[in-house]
Amino acid sequence: MSGLPPGLPREHRAVYLLGPERIELRRVPVPVPGPGELLVRIEAATTCGTDLKVLRRGGHPRMLMAPSPFGHEMAGTVAATGPVAEPGQAGRWSVGDRVVVANSAPCATCEQCLRGRENLCESLRYLNGAYAEYLLVPRLFAEVSTHAIPDGVAFEIAPLAEPLACVLHGLEVCPIAGAADTVVYGGGPIGLLFVNLLAEAGHHVVLADPNPQRLEVARRMGAAEAVLVSRDGGEAPRLRRRAGRGDGFDLAIEATGSPVAWEDALASVRDGGTVLLFGGCRSGTFIPLDTHRLHYQELTIKGAYHHRPATFRRALDLLASGRLQAAELLSAERPLEDLEGALRSMMRKEALKVVIRP
């Protein structure tokens, strides 16, 4: 006896990360949900820039190390539920429910969680395995990180709640007073979501990216200007003149993970400006910092990492509202067996995000 309900397969296909530049599509047993757990049939997964880093490096210092199931942005349907975790306690989810599962689960009891900084939870757990036909959702994730997909939100749109939640968290750590001149370095999905949110909130947004096709998407998502820049950096003096008063931006956001873009972002703001360093660089990366300017011009430098349960819920509400042009981020759709091709197309800057259908 497998413990699975009648009608469910005993095996499914799942992609595993084996090491740098190595992934493999395997046939593996369909997992049986234990007490409080869920089995979700994946209806759509979306590729992510973090997946590219993970593929190149063979892992991520926080999220996963090879060998491991791969992928973290997904939406699906509850296919089976495990026994109730506590006697007399009704399960929250039912077979057939449409759900999206956040890729991390905080403990809710450590000092960081109690301060509302669940993204820095001292025992934050991560969930991988979106590139598969089925995903086992552990009890903690079923309780705190599984969300109902709002009516009207398609399966391929729902996984965008994960990157959108990260962007919402980034904006929360650097609140803006009044209409602001902003520049976003990087026209990937994260940078474009920043553009979309800032423009929707009434801010003047300039997007800087070396890819002409991404500039067009940025304009459709609300950028007042989209500027072609060099990958080698040194663009801050030219971009500062694009701000409303021509003397720099109130807010500069770095969304590439490139050290030269970090330097440009720091050099792009006016006196009293704020810099959000969002794109993660490789461990051990250093950049020069003009401490005189930081001190005498009262610059604020912020880092932002990941998302929190509250921003994930807000992201789903925003996707349901129709206020964002989220579908602009989805460049193509491919089957599970063509995942590597989808990721290679992202590396070549031919695609922003690709929907993977099992």
Q: 36, 82 in Cβ contact below 8 A?
A: yes
Q: 51, 351 in Cβ contact below 8 A?
A: no
Burial class (CB in 10 A: 0-12, 13-18, 19+), 33: buried
Q: 188, 214 in Cβ contact below 8 A?
A: yes
Whether the predicted pLDDT of 227 surpasses 80: yes
pLDDT in tens, 140-173: 999 999 999 999 999 999 999 999 999 999 999 9
Which pLDDT belongs to residue 282? 83
Tell me the percentage of the chain whose pLDDT exceeds 90.
90
Whether the predicted pLDDT of 43 surpasses 60: yes
> Tokens standing for 327?
């579908």
pLDDT in tens, 44-91: 999 999 999 999 999 988 889 999 999 999 999 999 999 987 765 667
Residue 287 CB neighbours (<10 A): 12
pLDDT in tens, 315-345: 999 999 999 999 999 999 999 999 999 999 9
pLDDT in tens, 232-283: 999 999 999 999 888 999 999 999 999 999 999 999 999 999 999 999 888 8
Residue 328 exposure: Cα atoms within 13 Å on the Cβ side: 24
Q: Which domains does the chain have, with CATH numbers?
A: 11-160+307-357 (3.90.180.10), 175-303 (3.40.50.720)
Which pLDDT belongs to residue 90? 62
Average pLDDT over residues 200-206: 96
Distances (CA, A) of 98 to 30, 94, 149, 153, 308: 19, 9, 6, 10, 21
Average pLDDT over residues 112-134: 98
Transcribe 68-119 into DSSP letters: EE----EEEEEEEEPPPSSTTPPPS--TT-EEEE-SEE--S-SHHHHTT-GG
Question: At 245, phi and psi to the nearest 5?
Answer: -100, 0
> Tokens standing for 162?
């994960």
CA 238 centroid distance within chain: 30
Q: 350, 147 in Cβ contact below 8 A?
A: no
Q: 199, 179 in Cβ contact below 8 A?
A: no
Whether the predicted pLDDT of 296 surpasses 50: yes
Which pLDDT belongs to residue 176? 87
Which pLDDT belongs to residue 2? 52
Rounded to the nearest 5 degrees, what angle is found at the Cα of 98, between the Cα atoms of 76 and 142? 80
Pick the closest to residue 302 from 175, 120, 146 (CA basis): 175
Which pLDDT belongs to residue 283? 84
Amino acid at 3: G
Pick the closest to residue 226 from 212, 241, 246 (CA basis): 212
